Amino acid sequence: MKITRVRFVLCGYELPTPIPLSCGELTHRNFGLVLVETDAGVTGIGETSVNFPPWCVHERRATIEDGLQSLLLGENPLDIARLNKRMVDATRPFTRMWAEGAIAQAISGIDIALWDIAGKEYGVPVWQLLGGKYRDEILCYAVGFNAADPGKGALDMRGRGYTHGKMRIGFDDAADIAKARGMREAVGNDFAMMIDANQAFDLPRARRMMTALSDLDLYWLEEPLLNDDFDGYAALRTEFPQIPLAWGENAFSLGNYNTMLDNHLVDVAMPDPCRSGGLTTAVRMAETAANHGIAISPHHYGSDVGFVAALHLAASQPNFSIMLRDEAPVPLRGDILSEPLAVRNGTISVPAKPGLGIDLDHDIVETSTIRL
């Protein structure tokens, strides 16, 4: 089997109401699909994260189709590790002169598609290729609900069976604290509450916010500081032992994982298969965490193609804890699949079909494709 073509397909639309994050406002929801075609008629489906910055969609098409594709044409798609290394080696200098995250996210989409091809070729789900599964059901927490009133949103999520939910901060600190208190008051103590700062703070501001939030019994605080502020994380880890820290969606190399986890600076690691360099690297990140007794919560913020990729990671790793489920009202996220996924009572079954176990709704993909 040989690779004959690698395509980037951007699906998306402008949101009626923008989604605020501390690093910027999401005015569109864009989903970066990656299709790897072969001479055997098998096509692998993957996803590359294209949330920020808004212009990254142009860079991603070029990186995948003009840059990485030529490294893969004529190659055997089943040599996943070798092809991943080939892409990493060929782009390593550019991670310094250009952007480590952009390159890792481009490689991610291709790598996931290669795993999908391998599963289809061998007739088994991707989790089987990753060593088998530890669980049949994946526990999820909700995110993306009611930014204006997270207390009301969390009650809605609890009504749908979720036991865990996450709100975002990093905007106006006083308002954020009030909303966080409102969420805890609304749901009481039998709902696990996470807060995500999306790298918004410097160390003094993080200290002020963590002091203000310290009595809310947080399940975790996510990315209070920039991803590679190792000294800052070390300080917070020591000063606020009662607040577990989650981190890892913006770490694009195993080196960063080693530095953070070797020193036990965080409690939960969040490898994202659509960002980290694919499932190949995400598994290595998960294993790094496991070697240090640290749990993983696979990150994902895109379409249900990438969500499924993260489910295979979650199923196959011993140190999995809980999985993000975006509950923002964005129908295209799931509509691009021929069979929509079902999260019921905050859990979802592990995919059973070969490969990722999904197919695209080609009509929906076609009508939602944004030509670049």
Residues that bind Mg ion (CB under 5 A): 196, 222
Question: Which residue lies nearest Mg ion, judged by its C-beta?
Answer: 196
Q: Which is nearer to Mg ion, 111 or 222 (CB)?
A: 222
| Run of H or E residues at 324 | strand 323-326
Q: How far is the CB of 297 from Mg ion (least distance, A)?
A: 10
Q: Which is nearer to Mg ion, 113 or 268 (CB)?
A: 268
How far, in Å, CA of 148 to CA of 93, rounded?
Answer: 43
Q: How far is the CB of 155 from Mg ion (least distance, A)?
A: 22
List all residues 6 or more positions away from 333 whose beta carbon is below 8 Å from its beta carbon.
Answer: 29, 31, 302, 303, 304, 307, 326
Q: How far is the CB of 89 from Mg ion (least distance, A)?
A: 29
Q: How far is the CB of 249 from Mg ion (least distance, A)?
A: 5
Q: How far is the CB of 216 from Mg ion (least distance, A)?
A: 18
Q: How far is the CB of 219 from Mg ion (least distance, A)?
A: 13
How far, in Å, CA of 319 to CA of 295, rounded?
Answer: 5
Q: Which is nearer to Mg ion, 110 or 140 (CB)?
A: 140
Q: Which is nearer to Mg ion, 196 or 304 (CB)?
A: 196
State yes or no: cis peptide before 329, omega within 30 of 0.
no
Provide the H-helix boundaries in the chain: 56-61, 69-72, 80-91, 94, 100-122, 126-129, 150-159, 173-187, 203-213, 230-239, 254-262, 279-291, 304-316, 332-335, 362-368
How far, in Å, CA of 126 to CA of 117, rounded?
Answer: 9
Tell me whether strands 137-143 and 347-349 are parallel, antiparallel or unpaired.
antiparallel
Reading the block at residue 47, the tokens are 């996803």
Q: Which is nearer to Mg ion, 129 or 266 (CB)?
A: 266
Chain CA centroid to CA 152, Å? 25
Q: Which is nearer to Mg ion, 237 or 353 (CB)?
A: 237
